[in-house]
Structure 1
């Protein structure tokens, strides 16, 4: 495994290791995806559901901020409703 700048390991495996998917999935942790290669090139990232939800939420937040930059404001009610606050 290689190390990233923030000291989280980068877990890179060939896609053929999916044959033993139970072992591979046990290596997937929050903030520590498993990257799968095919023919020596990065092809897939396996992430936990929690990480997926966090990334999705981040993208939604970025979309709201982009809209705010275009219009100059964001409706507080819109954010409160969207995120259950």
Structure 2
């Protein structure tokens, strides 16, 4: 069951933070509406990794579709393009 508390409970923040754990965020409400979430740092890092992986997969899929529609670039052309570039 989600742990939902009013934001005013942060006056006693140590009690609120005791309820935060991986897989068990604390949701804060303001004027009766959801406003913030307090999550464990490990869970936030996992979220960021998942988000980056999803973005990479979307970019790879876009590249695959572009290759199928516009034609593929040969590895020789890629070597010429990036090999000639000075980093």
Q: Normalised by the size of structure 1, how large is the TM-score?
A: 0.74
Residue 32 of structure 1: SS of its match in structure 2? coil
Unmatched segments (≥5 aa) in structure 1: 1-8, 74-85
Partner of residue 53, structure 1: 45
User: Runs in 1 of length 4+ with deviation above 6 angstroms?
Assistant: none
- Whose helix fraction is larger, Structure 1's or Structure 2's? 2
Count of residues in correspondence between the two structures: 65
RMSD between aligned alpha carbons?
Answer: 1.2
Aligned-partner Cα distance in 1 for 2:9–2:49:
30
Question: Normalising by the residue count of structure 2, what TM-score does the alignment of the two structures yield?
Answer: 0.72
- Choose from 26, 31, 39 the match for 1:34: 26
**Larger Rg computed on CA atoms:** 2
Normalized per residue, the structure richer in strand is 1
In structure 2, stretches of 5+ residues that fail to align are: 66-87
